[in-house]
Amino acid sequence: MAGSHLSVVIDLSPSQWHLSSLHQPYPLDISAFISQLLAFLNAHIAFKHENTLAVFGAFPGKSTLLYSSADPPAETPSNDANYFPPLKLVDSTMMHRIVQNLETLTQNNGDDKAPSALVGALTKALCYINRLTLEFNAATTNATEGLEPLALPDSRILILSVSPDQTASYIPVMNSIFSAQKLKVTIDACQIYGPDTVFLQQAAHLTGGSYIYLERRDALLQYLTMAFLPPPSVRQTISVPTQDKIDFRAACFCHKNIIDVGFVCSVCLSIFCQPVPVCSTCRQVLLTKFPFKTLQRLNAARSSLPSSPSQPRNSSAPSSPQKTNGRTPSRTEAPLGPGGLPHSGSISLNNSTTNGAISSR
Amino acid sequence: MDSDSDISISDYDEQNLSRSKAKGKGKATDKDKRKKEKAKRKPKDVQAYTWEANFTRSWETVQEDERGSLQGAVDDWMVRGRRKRLLAPQNAIRRTIIRHMVLLIDLSSSMMDRDMRPTRFAVTLQYAREFIIEWFDQNPLGQMAVVGMRAGVGERISDMSGNPQDVLKSISDRHKLEPTGEPSLQNSIEMARNSMNHLPTHSSREILIIFGSLTTCDPGNIHETLDECVKNKIRISIVALAAEMKICRELCDKTGGQFGVAMNEGHFKDLLFEIVPPPAQRGIIPRPATGGTTATAAATTANAAADLMMMGFPTRLPDASPPSLCQRFLCPRCLAKVCDVPTDCDICGLMIVSSPHLARSYHHLFPVKPYTAVASFDAVPDPSATSSCHACSRPFPTTAAPPANVGEGMSAIGRYRCPDCNTDFCSDCDVFVHDVIHCCPGCSK
């Protein structure tokens, strides 16, 4: 039986790692993180001889391959009697490339405030798995017989993130999730520092992986080995933490409110929290205007809704107590949803005056 | 004397053959012989219809190059996809995301013909299944119904549903669908039309007909039905399995649908899957014109199709909630339990979707720009820095392929470049990015 493939996407944003190293009570700096990560990667390699590994780094504004077992580096590290050579190869190659990339980052004087290119790294990981899948299928007789291509057994992507969600990357992240579903790849996610990310929660949920928010940052290695080391085929028999609460409600494009009932443009699928006469997303390109009759009808329908969409439904929503990390769910910390429009804090949403909002256009 | 027996004596054979030709109607053994003869007369490079072909020589369609490699033939297939992508319109086109389709399957006795193995009927059912899965994958907000044409009437097989499992289940039992009698285009189109009359204008109304017969038995004038369909903006597409009929061609042309005659199994599947991507909306001027009058005209045409829809985003019930038959989602308006999304709430009729379903349709609206093929090494500024594919790190070939193997739209050095981020990708990644991910790994958008 073939081994399992693991692609790791690590978020290497210097500013976020700096903040993480200062965060009390459990600071974790990047060197401690990398040493724990290397131990985890070594465990994966040592687990089974056929196991394969690829590591992708997401630096600010750029993503790159750090290590892959399909294209080993030309220079082999010097022999060390106390070190299993494949492990040494992983460790030295990864360290070398991380340092190299961080150095070019400082040389270029590029602003390290740029958000890290998690999407780029994630799509690269998917392309890499696609390549392995093609090679796997070419090796079997399957391709020549014209049968459906087989999925690579037991392949997964682990995302180790320290950055918050970027609203602009919503569509690419969702596209990546759907391609992972097509390739039958499990996405695991671990948020090491910063707020919960809704995108990674959805990625893990939709692909059958697990999402963990790291409470005790000093115990990273334990989390990694307990939750993410077993390949997906073994997961059924051992208990891996899954999240129970997952928010599939959308945020409107106009005010970024999380809504229950929204109004959706039939052309571009933008979501609004109140009936609007013109679609703000696609009016430039496609001249989308909505008929006035619809507005009247929807306004009438809206007043009959039992709960107004803009009110947080913490009390009515049957959310079970958090099992994985015990934090109380709060709506205010997860206002991220689809769309790329900046949050307009000045607009206060007033439910009773929807007609005023329309006439102001 | 009838020529039914398997007589193998040569002079009898001769006699039978001539007689059956004269009658224009032969028995199975004679037919086979005629087929063989016909196939022999045909030049080999012309793609024969299934009923003319003796047997498929699939290995002959693949040509080895001088080194005995099949790579060139494989590349040709990929290039076909590339060219199609390049021909696709560049700028934002408006597509109908909310689709409603009625799948009309011919269940007349002509579907028992064996020109497709094992029968047209079996092949149709299998491809219909694959089509439904792919269609719902690409159109998560779409709804589909299935109607059968059998014994002169239209027969409702499944109601309009947004759940692929419901639709698949309805055509899973082939014994209930056993083909009999004559098909009636008019009856079944009328049935499909009536079931789509109430739909809102922003959604598409489509009928896809898989038609195996060469006749239709209609109670009235089918041209009136056609006019009604045009009036109701119903788009009819037909995949014919036998031959082109004038009325079929007319139905498609007048309603803006696609018409095709399947030559063989593979072509049949291609024709079906052409219907899968959402159609571009007709009668829309995509760019705002500078002149005042044209701009308003464009605005009014756009106006007719655009609409605001009310949708509910359901609450997912936690796994620990008390057990019930349907315990997955709650309708946000009436708090009724629904089993699966997307759907319309059974109680209050609100359209219920989850945000990933909306997101699944976004790639039709924001497609990735096609990559350009890099012609030669002169166009690569720094070959040592970009020695491998930007996405999957597969090393690029270091020597150019001989020009004989390079088709139009292919890169001799196996590099395909994104026009935005100027990074190079291998051909596999090019296909994967445009067909599956819909997001360029270089520019991450």
- Which bin fits A267, alpha (ψ -120 to 50), beta or left (φ > 0)? alpha
Contact criterion met (CB < 8 Å) for A175 and B316 = no
CB-based contact B205:B199 (threshold 8 Å): yes
Q: Determine the distance in angstroms separating the CA of B319 from the nearest CA of chain A, rounded to an integer.
A: 7
**Assigned domain for B176 exists:** yes
What mean pLDDT comes out for the span A231-239? 83
Indicate if B173 and B245 belong to the same structural domain.
Answer: yes
Does the distance separating the beta carbons of A119 and B439 come in below 8 Å? yes
Structure tokens at B67: 């080194």
Average pLDDT over residues A156-179: 89
**In a domain? residue A211:** yes
If phi > 0 it is left, if psi is from -120 to 50 it is alpha, else beta; for residue B86 that is alpha
Q: Which residue has the higher pLDDT, B77 or A309?
A: B77
Q: Are residues B214 and B332 in the same domain?
A: no
Strand ranges inside B276-421, DSSP E? 308-312, 315-316, 329-330, 337-338, 343-344, 351-352, 372-373, 416-417
The region of weakest confidence among A115-119, A159-163, B76-80 is B76-80
Q: CA A100, CA A112: separation in Å to the nearest integer?
A: 15
Q: Does residue B325 lie in a domain region?
A: yes
Whether residues A283 and A138 fall in one domain: no
DSSP string across B383-425: TTTT-B-TTT-PBPPSSPPPGGG--TT--TTS-EE-TTT--EE
**Domain boundary, last residue among A214, A235, A256:** A235
Q: Are residues B344 and B376 in the same domain?
A: no
Could you give the CA distance from residue A257 to residue A344 in angstroms, rounded to a whole number? Answer: 11
Answer yes or no: do B118 and B265 share one domain. Answer: yes
Q: Are residues A142 and A290 in the same domain?
A: no
Span A331-354, average pLDDT:
35
**CB A269 to CB B439 under 8 A?**
no
Residue B346 domain-assigned (yes or no): yes
Contacts of A318 in chain B (CB under 8 A): 315, 317-318, 321, 330
Which of A182, A212, A235 represents a domain boundary (last residue)? A235
Examine the domain organization and report whether B132 and B230 are in the same domain. Answer: yes
As a whole number, the mean pLDDT across chain A is: 76
Which one of B314, B355, B445 has the shortest CB-CB distance to A172? B445
Domain presence at residue B81 = no
Task: Please check whether residue A173 lies inside any domain of the structure.
Answer: yes
In-domain check, residue B360: yes
Has residue A249 got a pLDDT over 60? yes
* Whether residue A186 sits in one domain with residue A282: no
Within a domain: A324: no
Contact criterion met (CB < 8 Å) for B350 and A317: no
Say which residue, A338 or B355, is predicted with more confidence.
Answer: B355
Quote the pLDDT of residue B86.
Answer: 62
Q: Given B319, B391, B439, which is nearest A175 (Cβ)?
A: B439
User: Is B318 within 8 Å of A319 when comparing Cβ atoms?
Assistant: yes
pLDDT, tens digit (0-9, with 9 covering 90-100), for A43-67 = 999 988 889 999 999 988 888 899 9
DSSP codes of every residue in A191-217: E-SSS--HHHHHHHHHHT--EEE-S-G
| Residue B247 placed within a domain | yes
The CATH number of whichever domain residue B236 belongs to comes to 3.40.50.410
Is residue A49 a part of any domain in this protein? yes
Same domain, A215 and A336: no
Domain span holding position B406: 369-445
How many H helices and E strands in chain B? 13, 15
Claim to verify: residue B354 and residue B385 sit in the same structural domain: no
In a shared domain, residues B407 and B427: yes
Q: Contacts of residue B309 in chain A, CB cutoff 8 Å?
A: 263-266
- Residue A319, in any domain of the structure: no
In angstroms, the separation between the Cα of residue A319 and the nearest Cα of chain B is 7
What pLDDT sits at residue B85?
63
A207 and A99 part of one domain = yes
Distance (Å, whole) CA A139 – CA A150:
11
How does residue A74 score in pLDDT terms, banded at 50, 70 and 90? low
Hey, are the CB atoms on B391 and A260 less than 8 Å from each other? no
Phi-psi bin for B151: left (phi > 0), alpha (psi -120 to 50), beta? left
- Domain with residue A45: its CATH number is 3.40.50.410
Are both A94 and A217 inside the same structural domain? yes
Does A190 share its domain with A99? yes
- Which of A59, A62, A97, A131 to probe the B interface (max B CBs under 10 A)? A131
pLDDT classification of A328: cutoffs 50, 70, 90: very low
- Please report residues of B whose CB lies closer than 8 A to that of A305: 333
The domain boundary residue, chosen from A189, A205, A235: A235
The answer on A290 and A222 residing in a single domain is no
Q: Same structural domain for residues B336 and B421?
A: no
CA-based nearest residue to A158, from A174, A180, A134: A180
Phi and psi based region of residue B285 (left: phi greater than 0; alpha: psi -120 to 50; beta: remaining)? beta
Query: For chain A, what is the domain count?
Result: 2
pLDDT at A143 over 50: no
Other C-beta atoms closer than 10 Å to the C-beta of A219 total: 14
Could you give the count of Cα atoms lying within 13 Å of A93 in the half-sphere of its Cβ? 24
* Chain A residues touching residue B394 (CB < 8 angstroms): 71, 131
Q: Could you tell me if residue A163 is inside a domain?
A: yes
- The pLDDT of residue B362 is 81
Same domain, A221 and A339: no
Residue B399 lies in a domain: yes
pLDDT value of residue B80: 62
Same domain, A228 and A257: no
Domain shared by B320 and B376, yes or no: no
For residue A171, give its domain range.
Answer: 5-235
* Greatest mean pLDDT range, A103-112, A266-275, B237-246, B300-309: B237-246
Q: In which residue are the tokens 């047209």 written? A: B120
Q: From first to last of its 445 residues, what are the pLDDT tens digits of chain B?
A: 444 444 444 444 444 444 444 444 444 444 444 444 444 444 444 555 655 555 555 555 555 555 555 555 555 666 666 666 666 655 556 677 888 999 999 999 999 988 888 899 999 999 999 999 989 988 888 889 999 999 999 999 998 888 888 899 999 988 889 999 999 999 999 999 999 888 877 788 999 999 999 999 999 999 999 999 999 989 999 999 989 999 999 999 999 999 999 988 888 988 999 899 888 765 443 333 333 334 333 443 444 467 788 888 887 777 667 777 766 788 888 888 887 777 778 888 888 888 888 888 888 777 788 888 888 887 787 777 778 888 888 888 887 777 766 666 777 788 888 888 888 898 888 888 988 888 898 887 6
Asked if residue B333 and residue B249 are part of one domain, the reply reads: no
Same-domain pairing of A273 and A206 = no
Q: How near does any CA of chain A get to the CA of B280, in Å? A: 11
Q: Do A266 and B305 touch (CB under 8 A)?
A: yes
| Selected residue with higher pLDDT from A283 and A121 | A121
What pLDDT is attached to residue B73?
55
- Contact state of B302 with A287 under an 8 Å Cβ cutoff: yes
Q: How many A-B residue pairs are in contact by the CB < 8 A criterion?
A: 213
- The answer to whether B393 contacts A128, with C-beta atoms less than 8 Å apart, is yes
Which whole number is the average pLDDT over A212-216? 88
Read off the pLDDT band of A360 (50, 70, 90). very low
* Chain-chain contact of B92 with A174 (C-beta, under 8 angstroms): no
Give domain status of residue A221, yes or no. yes
Q: Which residues contact B394 (CB under 8 A, 6 or more apart)?
A: A71, A131, B388, B426, B428, B429
Residue A241 inside a domain? The answer is no
Number of domains composing chain B = 3
Residue of A nearest to B296 (CA): A287
Considering only residues A209 and B327, tell me which one the structure prediction assigns the higher pLDDT: A209
Has the ipTM of the complex gone over 0.85?
Answer: no
Same domain membership, residue B407 and residue B359: no
Residue in B321, B393, B441 nearest the CB of A120 = B441
Write out the two tokens for B64. Answer: 């080895």
Residue B141 in domain:
yes
* All residues at 6 or more sequence positions from A36 whose CB lies less than 8 Å from its CB, including other chains: A220, A221, A224
Looking at the structure, do residues A159 and A190 belong to the same domain, yes or no?
yes
> How would residue A69 be classed by pLDDT, with cut points 50, 70 and 90?
confident
Asked whether residue B393 falls in the same domain as residue B442, the answer is yes
All residues of chain B having their beta carbon less than 8 Å from the beta carbon of residue A151 are none
Among B249, B273, B297, identify where a domain stops. Answer: B273
* Per-residue CA distances from B136 to B201, B343, B364 (Å): 21, 13, 14
